[in-house]
Amino acid sequence: MRGPHNIWRLVRTGATLERTGAMRVVLDAFDAPRPLRMAARVLGWPFKPLGHEGDMSMPSVTRALSALGPAYIKFGQILSTRPDLVGNDLANQLRVLQDKLPPFSREEALAAVSRELEMPADELFSEFSEPIAAASIAQVHRATLAETGETVAVKVLRPGVERAFRKDIDAFYLAANSIELLSPSSRRLRPLDVIQHFEGVVMGELDLRLEAASASQFASNTADDEGFRVPAVRWFSSARRVMTLDWAEGVPMGDNAALDAAGHDRAELSERVLQLFLKHALRDGFFHADMHQGNLKVAANGDIIAIDFGIMGHIDEYTRRVYAEILYGFIRRDYERVAEVHFEAGYVPADRDRDEFARALRAVGEPIFGMDATRISMARLLAYLFEVTERFGMETRTELILLQRTMVVVEGVARSLNPRMNIWSVAQPVVEDYIRNSIGPKAVLHDLRETAKVLSRFGPRLPSIVEDLLIMQSRTQTRDTGSWWRWRLGWTTLGLCIGGALGAGIVGLF
């Protein structure tokens, strides 16, 4: 479908960007080369009257994307998680993009539920409300299970949303290819990579079974976290286009007046929301990557309830350890150790000057530590840190960019609850606890156990491995080569036997 029939769609897009003033902002954010700027101007200006005017009260880019429709709104939201691509200023603007669209009818939602779950919706739900929230991909209804009388939230994809998104994605690919054709130098902006990233995220969100799986995994990981809840997935009434969760009753975290009226301690909530995020990121490597106020509620008993699991972050264990050591080094103001961690992890090329890098890190950390508690910002520290590491040749790591972006959002939530919260004092116990459990003696024993498991798997394969080595030896033609193979065979076999035996023994002990 990526053909000429998408040209009109692109013309309308360009006209809207030009009419709202967003074209210049977008080109500046991507540091677009001069030929691309000229082409955009020449192609956009004559068609300006054909563009949507949008809501004049919005900033230019959010105004344009909101006017262009659901796919563009979602595109803006996803780009807001990638300041490495669009820059911090535009990412901040996109982050506040309103994802509120006119809902589709209750009757259409009920018909979709019946088709997807292959049974009449009124047999599943004794009550089914009008839409209570409508976004670019789906909308949510409050319902009551007919069998148990329990209240649940039912998320239903918009009718035809897959086809509509596919058409817009095809147009986005045409735009990316056209940009590269008109300006080869723009390839450094990786326009095709940007569209591929968008397509991957959206295709995942269009299958609500994947979001349900994320919610289920998140609930399992955090089951023992005091003061935190994730609504349970109702799998029997969930499918590709429908997802049912327990209803989350609570006060929106963004409503300070309501929180105060309900008697909640906002200072304590601010500390807990930050510590919970750090625990999920460091301990589990799986965190809610869209933790703004709209996705957090406070239950009557004070529990924080998370909702909407369309965007989740993943960090492997090694990266978590590196991230924790970096944070811990900054907390202790040990900039030499922070520098060493970057070099040990291979984040900074080995040919760079380690002492100079440590001094650059000191220039990042010291001004922040000298600030008043109300101005200390971990998010600012991470932003400065990435600027420095980029200057020293560190390649972009998408998982850390998403972590940084979420840290900015969570810190904003915490500050809105308690502007005088000291970010470092709140984060320190979480980071120190992770360091003790993941980098200290306990972690060494855990690593030995995992290594032993791997070695123990070689036990059953030892005969075939030895046989293969003997066959390889027999094929050697010269005495010298044969001696070399016998020597290697002996040591390899001995090592495998010892490793397999030790592995099996250690696994048995545990």
Q: Would you please indicate which residues are annotated as catalytic (active-site) residues? A: 290
* Alpha carbons 239 and 153: distance in angstroms, whole number: 14
* Alpha carbons 40 and 195: distance in angstroms, whole number: 18
Nearest CA among 334, 339, 318, 343 for reference residue 439: 318
User: 20-26: long-range contacts at Cβ-Cβ below 8 A with a sequence spacing of 24 or more?
Assistant: 20/51, 20/52, 20/53, 20/54, 20/60, 20/61, 20/63, 20/64, 20/67, 21/60, 22/60, 22/61, 22/63, 22/64, 22/65, 25/60, 25/61, 25/90, 26/61, 26/90
At a CB cut-off of 8 Å and minimum separation 6, what does 4 contact? none
Burial of residue 291 (number of CB atoms within 10 Å: 0-12, 13-18, 19+)? buried
Beta bridge partners of 7: none
Burial of residue 253 (number of CB atoms within 10 Å: 0-12, 13-18, 19+)? buried
Residue 115: CB atoms within 10 A of its CB come to 13
DSSP annotation of 254 reads T
Between the alpha carbon of residue 19 and those of residues 10, 69, 87, 230, 371, the distances in Å are 14, 16, 22, 43, 43
Looking only at the bridges linking them, the beta strands covering 151-157 and 138-145 are antiparallel
Residue 342: CB atoms within 10 A of its CB come to 25
Nearest CA among 63, 45, 61, 41 for reference residue 53: 63
